[in-house]
């Protein structure tokens, strides 16, 4: 059912690809390489100007991984054997260098069209193929479309009047100018304290004349445990990597660690403290997803960690009012049900002259004028405004494309009130389309590269299965997605995750339907489920 690999006329509507991949981040690139090797005729379209997906767009100062670089890479084809990371947690420039390394080895770029935003995709039932049209009018037909737009490709802009009138530089962190902005000696305003806000703040506060950070919810940020790595250190790390890569497939969130077997509820106060101190000294996400197995479920245990965390923050911040704003006595929400950032000197930098934290709830930004931002206390003059206000996560990148399925039904309409997928992979009425890292998949609870490979493998295997059996059309059923949605909802309801207005369930976007968009059952359950699907002959799909 597929054409043999080989040259076809991709620039005209006459050429039909086996697979068009929208998005060239970890997931899209993995698909490209795997499918190309298997003889599929495949291309990638990406709106970015270069490789890396989110790592191309998020070039704001300080943008870096929150996952140890050695684990935030492909295990595929021994690519890891000859790439050194300079830092334990590489910054965006280094992640881009990694992608260039991958490109040199796998020659991916020749099959990627950059600066190509897929604006529309139309299903043709008679031909059993999609026609995808770019924002600049290019057309591409493909039998299968893989939507690999990532969970954070659609920036969320705050609704503040006057943004266009500002005379200085005002940018969303995910649309930062590729050439950068020198903040030395400047007056900088940052709105938002998610991972992006914390990171850009850490850079701004070191060089700018003045930094004003607007906080709506405190970030329960954890120590990163950053270290420099030389070649010998990289060699040392590499020795243990195959084993650590294998662990990624068995861990809750695709890291090389998972929760401990012990419960915090049965540990005494001294034992709890000793554990917290031990993890704190090492830093990183194990503090969040590698400690007591009931930390994110048992509110009393959770509170003991919050109090420990608060104490640590208060030790570092001199001004008691600022310290209390950053780490209030009453937790803003249980620890860890909103993604904590990893910080290096975030809390210490509030001790600097010219650095100010403003409570956005008490003193919101009312307006942006040519000279700066206005609050009820007047104008804060500034030269740079960083909008670190996040994304329309999980579904935003997909819904930015006008996808028209069977009978012209629009995905934007189908999902207007509720997202429905089967395992985050596909949705009824939209045949021959697969989402990678999609809504209702482990996505936000999974290390990106792990998902790219692990979920990527099931997609490749599924496409091979279809080819072998001569199927030219697949569509998941409405019943299958009802059941999956109910399962995702059930895991969320009653959990502590409902207690923070997070992007995990769409609560960060005004007007977005409240619905859990990330599968929170862990990788083992997710892929165990797919094993059943495969063993049963894919009964959740109509195959023809």
Residue 26: CB minimum distance to ligand N01, A: 12
Residue 105: CB minimum distance to ligand N01, A: 24
Binding to ligand N01 by residue 495, rule CB under 6 A? no
Tell me the C-alpha distance between 118 and 115, whole Å: 10
Residue 452: CB minimum distance to ligand N01, A: 15
Which one, 389 or 441, has the nearer CB to ligand N01? 389
Q: Which of residues 389-408 bind ligand N01 (CB under 6 A)?
A: 389-391
Give burial (CB, 10 Å; 0-12/13-18/19+) of 472. middle
Binding mask 92-121 for ligand N01 (x = CB under 6 A): ------------------------------
Beta carbons of 358 and 368 less than 8 angstroms apart: no
Binding to ligand N01 by residue 65, rule CB under 6 A? yes
Beta carbons of 175 and 57 less than 8 angstroms apart: yes
Beta carbons of 313 and 192 less than 8 angstroms apart: no
Query: What do you get for the CA distance between the two ends of the chain, in Å?
Result: 12
Choose which of 309, 503, 526, 538 interacts with ligand N01 (CB under 6 A).
503
164-198: burial string, b at 16+ Cβ within 10 Å, e else: eebebbbbbbbebeeeebebeebbbbbbbbbbbbb
Segment interacting with ligand N01, rule: CB under 6 A, options 245-253, 388-396, 421-429, 450-458: 388-396
The beta strands (E) that lie in 104-196 are given as: 112-113, 118-124, 129-134, 139-147, 169-172, 187-191
Nearest-10 Cα torsion for 340, 345, 348, 353: -120
Segment interacting with ligand N01, rule: CB under 6 A, options 101-109, 136-144, 500-508, 531-539: 500-508
**Token pair for 94:** 């280094």
Tell me the C-alpha distance between 221 and 231, whole Å: 30
Which one, 155 or 264, has the nearer CB to ligand N01? 155
Which one, 195 or 289, has the nearer CB to ligand N01? 195
Tell me the C-alpha distance between 194 and 267, whole Å: 31
Residue 196: CB minimum distance to ligand N01, A: 3
Which one, 144 or 229, has the nearer CB to ligand N01? 229
Tell me the C-alpha distance between 163 and 161, whole Å: 6
Binding to ligand N01 by residue 196, rule CB under 6 A? yes
Choose which of 27, 131, 140, 360 interacts with ligand N01 (CB under 6 A).
360
* Count of positions on this chain that bind ligand N01 (CB under 6 A): 23
Cβ-based neighbour number of residue 348 at 10 Å: 14
Alpha-carbon Rg of the chain, whole angstroms? 23
Residue 63: CB minimum distance to ligand N01, A: 6
112 backbone dihedrals φ, ψ, rounded to 5° = -120, 135
Which one, 129 or 392, has the nearer CB to ligand N01? 392
Binding to ligand N01 by residue 217, rule CB under 6 A? yes
Residue 265: CB minimum distance to ligand N01, A: 28
Residue 393: CB minimum distance to ligand N01, A: 7
Q: Which of residues 428-487 bind ligand N01 (CB under 6 A)?
A: none
Beta carbons of 183 and 207 less than 8 angstroms apart: yes
Residues 6+ apart with CB under 8 A from 387: 157, 158, 170, 171, 172, 173, 191, 192
Q: Which of residues 135-194 bind ligand N01 (CB under 6 A)?
A: 152, 158, 191-194
Tell me the C-alpha distance between 476 and 461, whole Å: 16
Binding to ligand N01 by residue 218, rule CB under 6 A? no
Binding to ligand N01 by residue 512, rule CB under 6 A? no
Beta carbons of 458 and 466 less than 8 angstroms apart: no
Which one, 25 or 158, has the nearer CB to ligand N01? 158
Q: Which residue is nearest to ligand N01 (CB)?
A: 194
Binding to ligand N01 by residue 344, rule CB under 6 A? no
Residue 352: CB minimum distance to ligand N01, A: 21
Choose which of 168, 197, 286, 456 interacts with ligand N01 (CB under 6 A).
197
Which one, 54 or 144, has the nearer CB to ligand N01? 54
> DSSP string covering 371-405, please?
TEEEETTEEEE-SEEEE---B-TTTHHHHTSEEE-
Residue 25: CB minimum distance to ligand N01, A: 12
Print the SS3 string covering 284-306.
Answer: CCHHHHCCCCCCCCCHHHHHHHH
Beta carbons of 129 and 432 less than 8 angstroms apart: yes
Which one, 121 or 190, has the nearer CB to ligand N01? 190
Cβ-based neighbour number of residue 113 at 10 Å: 19
Which one, 30 or 214, has the nearer CB to ligand N01? 214
Choose which of 33, 66, 91, 383 interacts with ligand N01 (CB under 6 A).
66
Choose which of 344, 508, 518, 540 interacts with ligand N01 (CB under 6 A).
508
Which one, 206 or 501, has the nearer CB to ligand N01? 501
Choose which of 287, 388, 425, 460 interacts with ligand N01 (CB under 6 A).
388
Interface contacts to ligand N01, rule CB under 6 A = 65-66, 152, 158, 191-197, 199, 216-217, 339, 360, 388-391, 501, 503, 508
């Amino acid at each position: 059912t597929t054409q043999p690999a080989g040259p076809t006329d991709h620039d005209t509507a006459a050429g039909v690809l086996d697979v068009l991949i929208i998005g060239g981040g970890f997931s899209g690139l993995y698909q490209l390489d795997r499918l190309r090797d298997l003889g599929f005729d495949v291309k990638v379209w990406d709106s970015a100007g270069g490789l890396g997906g989110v790592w191309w767009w998020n070039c704001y100062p300080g943008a870096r991984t929150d996952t140890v670089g050695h684990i935030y890479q492909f295990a595929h084809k021994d690519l890891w054997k000859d790439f050194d990371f300079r830092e334990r947690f590489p910054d965006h420039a280094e992640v881009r260098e990694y992608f260039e390394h991958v490109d040199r080895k796998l020659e991916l770029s020749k099959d990627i069209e950059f600066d190509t935003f897929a604006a529309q995709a139309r299903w043709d039932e008679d031909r059993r193929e999609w026609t995808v049209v770019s924002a600049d009018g290019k057309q591409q037909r493909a039998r299968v479309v893989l939507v690999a737009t990532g969970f954070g490709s659609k920036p969320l802009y705050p609704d503040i009047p006057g943004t266009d009138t500002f005379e200085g530089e005002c940018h969303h962190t995910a649309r930062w100018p590729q050439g950068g902005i020198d903040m030395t000696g400047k007056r900088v305003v940052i709105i938002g304290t998610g991972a992006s806000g914390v990171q850009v703040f850490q850079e701004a506060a070191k060089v700018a004349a003045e930094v004003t950070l607007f906080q709506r919810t405190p970030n329960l940020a954890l120590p990163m445990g950053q270290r420099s790595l030389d070649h010998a250190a990289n060699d040392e790390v590499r020795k243990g990597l195959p084993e650590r890569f294998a662990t990624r497939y068995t861990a809750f969130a695709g890291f090389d660690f998972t929760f401990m077997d012990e419960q915090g509820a049965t540990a005494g106060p001294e034992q709890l403290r000793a554990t917290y101190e031990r993890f704190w000294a090492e830093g990183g996400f194990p503090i969040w997803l590698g400690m007591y197995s009931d930390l994110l479920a048992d509110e009393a245990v959770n509170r003991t960690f919050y109090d420990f965390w608060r104490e640590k923050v208060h030790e570092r911040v001199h001004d008691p009012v600022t310290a209390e704003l950053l780490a209030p006595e009453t937790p803003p929400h249980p620890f860890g049900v909103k993604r904590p950032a990893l910080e290096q000197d975030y809390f210490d930098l509030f001790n600097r002259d010219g650095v100010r934290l403003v409570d956005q709830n008490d003193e919101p930004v009312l307006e942006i004028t040519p000279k700066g931002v206005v609050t009820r206390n007047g104008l804060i003059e500034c030269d740079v405004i960083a909008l670190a206000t996040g994304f329309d996560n999980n579904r935003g990148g997909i819904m930015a494309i006008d996808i028209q399925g069977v009978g012209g039904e629009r995905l934007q309409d189908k999902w207007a009130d509720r997202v429905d997928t089967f395992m985050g992979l596909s949705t009824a009425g939209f045949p021959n389309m697969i989402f990678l890292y999609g809504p209702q998949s482990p996505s936000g609870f999974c290390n990106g590269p792990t998902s790219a490979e692990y979920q990527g493998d099931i997609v490749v295997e599924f496409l091979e299965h279809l080819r072998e059996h001569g199927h030219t059309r697949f569509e998941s059923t409405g019943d299958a997605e009802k059941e999956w949605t109910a399962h995702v909802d059930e895991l969320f309801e009653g959990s502590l995750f409902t207690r923070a207005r997070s992007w995990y369930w769409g609560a960060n976007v005004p007007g977005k339907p409240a619905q859990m968009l990330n599968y929170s059952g862990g990788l083992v359950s997710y892929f165990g489920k797919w094993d059943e699907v495969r063993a049963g002959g894919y009964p959740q799909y109509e195959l023809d």
